Structure 1
Amino acid sequence: MIQRDSLARLTLDTLPFNIAVLDEEGTILFTNRAWNEFAGVGPQERDELVGVNYFEQTDADADEYAAQALEGLQAVVEGERDIFTLEYPCHSPEEKRWFLMRAAPLPEHDEGSVVVAHIDITQRKLAELRARRQRRELEHLMSRIDGLVRDVMEAVLQADSREEIEQTVCERLHSVDPYVCAWVSQVDLRTETLSPTAAACETFPDEAELALGTDDPVVRAAETGEPQAIQDTADARVADIHRTTLLDEPGAIAAFPLVYSETSYGVLTVAATERDAFDERELAVLNVLARAASVAINAIEGRRILTTDSVVEVELGITDDGLFFGDLSAAFECTLIYEGSLYEEDGSVVMLFVVDGADPEDVAAAAREHADVTDVTVVSGGDGEGVVEFAVSDPPIVSELAERGAETTAIVAETGQVRITLELPASADPRSVIEQLSERYPSTDLLLTSRQQLALQKAYLGGFFDWPRSISGEDLAESMDISPSTYHQHLRAAEKKVLASLFEE
């Protein structure tokens, strides 16, 4: 017999579950503290529930859960079931709640026939509902963009030009609901703006530049190298270009930097007419697409420089400390001339330099103390000149330029002054290379190359700037044994540098 002060009763009162003991007729013999509190019965009135018939209080006609509960309890009482469980909702106007009902028979020697427990499982049910909703959202997301991912990957790998990659990505994104616009922009350092280079939109403005330094998601993506999003343009001040691409309706905007290693190729922007269109999963998938496009663009730019004579020759000057060949040339007041690199099987790189004006052995000894040099070998030397191999884990400047699609054709370090000659695809902006290198080497500056100087000198002396002209660009190109387009690139680059030095003073 269950006594008020029994250990069993005290134990049941400590449990957070609603527990009651019923006899074979369904009459309540005992309720614990949690049951009474849920029923609104205080400690002084806790016996009020004893003697109430639980079966009669359960309205089987009220809902299907009540009918199932009554049927299950009676089956346990009659010995037809060893245990009965039922999950059911018990919502109030203030909150949603769910409970697990569990009924089991008592031993024959104990007073009562069945013990009933109601366990609050609200948190578990809410978690299940969240997981179910997230699964539906993920299925919806994948149904929308699974084909998109496949299409974009195939398209960018088959593209023959950067322009084709950008336009293909935009068109594929635009074909997916609810995206109404996808466009790519690149930084124009001359105007300090982001300017569109490809777009696929319902509507797109004629004037679409965005000024650098402004509080805009596209600008922030370009400047930080991180994806940016505005989930509801109705709650934000956005540029006119975004309102136009969204058809003057509220929506969402996401911007993804097109970056490979440290090289920036612009920003991919996607506009959707649904608010909160870009959750974390969708942003992650679109960012992967942007990175895939960046890798493809980098490969295209690198391949272009190897297959075309339409390249721009650029010469850079660097005086910063830290470049081992510059530091060594300053320490020994000598000249180091780059002859090329050898890539070893272990991943290290050997850079070959001709040393002029210093003992190669002395230069090698000093190089072994430099942080960037892992090993040094004097290949030949004598009388203040020789050839020295410098092993490095990552060739400075050369690897950085290669990642930007540039080929290093010459490096000369003379008493601390480093001159680097490189070739870029005709579509590349030399200023962007300078800007990126300047982050690591602040003294980086654009110099007039020997080819550019020769092109300018031939044009001036030959009468190209006279009116009427005494010689054509084609004739000047032939005299330098290069194509007319390459000659004009050299000439324009030289003109720009000369004018820049004049007007920037």
Structure 2
Amino acid sequence: MPSSPPAPERHFETIAQCARDGIITISADLTVRYANPAVEDIFGYSPDELEDRSLAAVLSDDHASDLEEWLDRFLDTGEKTVDWGDIRLQGRHRNGRTVPLSVSLADFEQDGRRYFSGIVRDVTEQERREARLTGLNQLAQELTDAESTDEICERTVDAARTILEHPIAAIGLYDDDDGRLEPCAWTPEVDEIAEAGRLFATDRSVPWDVFVTQERRVVNDILAETDLEASDTQLRSAVFHPIGTYGVFVAGATERDAFHDEDVDITSVLVGNAYSSLERVDRERTLREQRNELAEKTESLDRLRRINDVIRELTTVLTEAAGRDEIATEVCTRLAASDPYQFAWFGSHDPASDEVVPEAAAGDENGYLEAITVTVDEDEPGSDPTSRAVQTRAPQIENDIYQNPPFEPWRQEAIQRDYRACIAVPIAYHGRLYGVLNLYAVESDVFDQLEVSVLQELGETIGYALNAAERKQAFTSERSVDLAFEVDDREDSVLGIADELGGRFELENLVERGDGSTTMFFAVRGPDSDAVVEWAKKRAQLHEIQLLADRDEEYLFECMLEESTVWSQLQQRGSVVREAVVTSDSARIVVRIPRSADPRSFDALLEEAFGSVELVARREHEEPVMTPEEFEAEFRDRLTDRQDEVLQTAYYAGFFEWPRETQSGELADVLGIAQPTVSRHIRSSEEKFFSMLYEDENEDEDKNR
């Protein structure tokens, strides 16, 4: 026959003794009537020490009162106000440590008295895992709102400090410029063992290896498993996790073997969230930059279209303008009427006062030019864009006038008139500064690179127009002035030939070529011709010197000049060098200029070239700078530029002398063209000359009949 089952009491006792969970029976007043051995692992008290004691001794005061209240209500009403399958209480361990508990409770009656038995579990690990999951979920939510790389890194290390058992955590991001990992965010505990977030003294240590290999690494004993010394880091164990190409996350501890598998898994989740957020921020930043760049380009293109329309109109105006005043006025008027410009003015530098004097203005000036004085000091960098433009001969931009402290008077005056950005564009041609064009806008950041380039090209066009107008005026002026200068310092110029070689130098003529270069014809008496050639070859401004003729102890030479020489600049300003004679005792230059031109600018030009000059004579003439008769003017008008160049070169080279000082072949070499071409140009020019001469004579005879 089968054996009979053991008695229930014996059965329960056996199960309770081997159970891993604590089992407790209490009376209605919370007195412990039974406890199994497992309660000692939970509370630190043996079953004998707990029995006949109140359960309140191993519960927090608040939770003991709550449990007593719940049981009393149940006994009075039979109502269970909490889930008896999982009652959460805070226990107290014998060592004072708080123990989170989960209690499954049931009631029973024995001998007319009510008792309660429960299974008690220490849920410390469960709550820790739940807290970690909550922390990870909270981090994921927070990272969705993060807007910058720094914010993502800071929130990630803060979460690591809360979730992991060890509070040391840091993130280093890769710096493209320096080629190394730079600390971005770290927990406060890092400051106790490292400076500025650098957990390792060397750049090429474990974090760098992890970044390069892109492989996670757990180091339980840093000093034993790496080549690092104790002085290189205070960490003794750590988890290193690459954050893609962004950088490396480090969780560390000052003791060995501090991280378990669960910690490593947590860091993987942390880094995964951070990486996803960094990629999102990168994408959003790229999209913002693309949208902003597209908007800026669209705005810039719209503005450039308006500027180009104005420039096209100005080009027509500049070619038809009668003179400097009209050019300056038209430029300011048309630019000031074009968005986003509010005000424009043109000024020139007065060398006598060193001030930039306004010549023309248009737009909302509101007394600005009366309120400011622009002074140019060659020894001090200018505080305002206009003076800097004069000094540097380059555009000067202030894209946010209001942002900088408004200490300078010009800036204060500009802000009061709602100017927010400005540019000063130097107007120059072949090294000569004609003035400065100043534009003001009511918006910041108006003058981007593309717009500055367009305005710079406009400045060059205006400079060319002013030069052309000046030269046109020089040719058509009815009165002119001869200015005679004595040159004291001539060592570094062509005038220094008499000082070094002795004898006499005399300028014969200057011929401006179609490509803008200048040919100089000069005669030297005294030195040997070979010595002159060798001397000239050492001068950077002189090129391709050739001996053209030997005229009774006087040699005629021809050479090319750079555009930057004073001789080329004098021609470009519409003047004529009437005389340039140098001996070992003196050097005299006579320049004929239009009556309307400012002699001071020519004085300044010669001083810049020679260092020290003195105006010794001034003589006015009732004739233009160039004194062509109507016949000559018409003849030149009929010649092409190339024919005019060939005739002038042939004449000053002695081609028309008898006997000829220069043959046609030599002349072709000078001009850099074929000999038949030289002959054809000369014959064609002669035919035009004689046809004009005899046709005019015939016309006069017909009129007299």
Fold-level match, TM-score > 0.5? yes
Give the whole-Å Cα distance in 2 for the aligned partners of 1:46 and 1:193: 69
Give the whole-Å Cα distance in 2 for the aligned partners of 1:164 and 1:429: 18
Q: Relative to 1, partners in 2 of residues 1:328 and 1:295: Cα closer, same or farther, differing over 3 Å?
A: same
User: Which residue of structure 2 aligns with residue 460 of structure 1?
Assistant: none
* Alignment-mate amino acid for residue 44 of structure 1: D
Picking from 126, 144, 158, the partner of 2:320 is 158
Q: Secondary structure at the match of 2:551?
A: strand
Q: CA deviation at 1:152?
A: 2.0
Matches within 5 A, 1:57-456: 97=280, 121-122=283-284, 124-202=286-364, 203-204=366-367, 205-206=369-370, 209-213=373-377, 214-234=382-402, 235-237=404-406, 248-318=417-487, 319-324=489-494, 326-342=495-511, 350-356=519-525, 358=526, 361=529, 364=532, 366-367=534-535, 369-371=537-539, 372-382=542-552, 385-394=553-562, 396-415=565-584, 417-443=586-612, 445-449=613-617, 451-452=618-619
Task: Give the CA RMSD over aligned residues.
Answer: 3.8
Give the whole-Å Cα distance in 2 for the aligned partners of 1:121 and 1:241: 43
Write out per-residue CA displacement over residues 310-362 of structure 1, whole angstroms, 9 at most, x where no aligned residue. 333322333321223x2322234322221113567998754323334x25646
Write out per-residue CA displacement over residues 160-194 of structure 1, whole angstroms, 9 at most, x where no aligned residue. 21111111110111101232210001111222211
Q: Relative to 1, partners in 2 of residues 1:250 and 1:307: Cα closer, same or farther, differing over 3 Å?
A: closer
Give the whole-Å Cα distance in 2 for the aligned partners of 1:128 and 1:258: 36
* Alignment-mate amino acid for residue 180 of structure 1: Q
Q: Relative to 1, partners in 2 of residues 1:407 and 1:243: Cα closer, same or farther, differing over 3 Å?
A: farther
Q: Secondary structure at the match of 1:198?
A: strand
Write out per-residue CA displacement over residues 45-71 of structure 1, whole angstroms, 9 at most, x where no aligned residue. 6999xxxxxxxxxxxxxxxxxxxxxxx
Q: CA deviation at 1:221?
A: 0.6
Number of equivalences: 358
Q: CA deviation at 1:157?
A: 2.1
Asked if structure 2 preserves the Cα contact closer than 8 Å seen for 1:373 and 1:390, the reply is: no
Q: Provide structure 1 residue ranges, at least 5 long, that are not aligned to the other structure.
A: 1-12, 17-32, 49-89, 99-119, 456-479, 484-505
Give the whole-Å Cα distance in 1 for the aligned partners of 2:457 and 2:537: 42
Q: Report the more deviating stretch, 191-200 or 422-431.
A: 422-431
Q: CA deviation at 1:236?
A: 4.0
TM-score computed with the length of structure 1 as normaliser: 0.61
Give the whole-Å Cα distance in 2 for the aligned partners of 1:344 and 1:192: 35
Q: CA deviation at 1:249?
A: 2.4
Q: Secondary structure at the match of 1:374?
A: strand
Write out per-residue CA displacement over residues 199-258 of structure 1, whole angstroms, 9 at most, x where no aligned residue. 002223446542222421111111111111222222243765665566532511211111
* Alignment-mate amino acid for residue 132 of structure 1: L
Larger radius of gyration: 2
Asked if structure 1 preserves the Cα contact closer than 8 Å seen for 2:543 and 2:559, the reply is: yes
Give the whole-Å Cα distance in 2 for the aligned partners of 1:228 and 1:344: 34
Give the whole-Å Cα distance in 2 for the aligned partners of 1:264 and 1:195: 13
Asked if structure 2 preserves the Cα contact closer than 8 Å seen for 1:305 and 1:423, the reply is: no
Give the whole-Å Cα distance in 2 for the aligned partners of 1:337 and 1:259: 31
Q: CA deviation at 1:298?
A: 0.9
Write out per-residue CA displacement over residues 94-145 of structure 1, whole angstroms, 9 at most, x where no aligned residue. x8927xxxxxxxxxxxxxxxxxxxxx74565355334423332323323432
Q: CA deviation at 1:289?
A: 1.5
Give the whole-Å Cα distance in 2 for the aligned partners of 1:337 and 1:378: 15
Q: Secondary structure at the match of 2:610?
A: coil
* Alignment-mate amino acid for residue 269 of structure 1: N
Q: CA deviation at 1:482?
A: 6.0
Give the whole-Å Cα distance in 1 for the aligned partners of 2:429 and 2:601: 14
Q: Provide structure 2 residue ranges, at least 5 long, that are not aligned to the other structure.
A: 1-212, 217-242, 250-261, 270-274, 625-705
Asked if structure 1 preserves the Cα contact closer than 8 Å seen for 2:477 and 2:623, the reply is: no
Give the whole-Å Cα distance in 2 for the aligned partners of 1:147 and 1:367: 53
* Alignment-mate amino acid for residue 313 of structure 1: D
* Alignment-mate amino acid for residue 397 of structure 2: A
Give the whole-Å Cα distance in 2 for the aligned partners of 1:47 and 1:350: 79
Asked if structure 1 preserves the Cα contact closer than 8 Å seen for 2:414 and 2:420, the reply is: no
Q: Relative to 1, partners in 2 of residues 1:183 and 1:245: Cα closer, same or farther, differing over 3 Å?
A: farther
Q: Secondary structure at the match of 1:305?
A: helix
Q: CA deviation at 1:420?
A: 1.5
Q: Sequence identity, in percent?
A: 24
Asked if structure 2 preserves the Cα contact closer than 8 Å seen for 1:181 and 1:246, the reply is: no
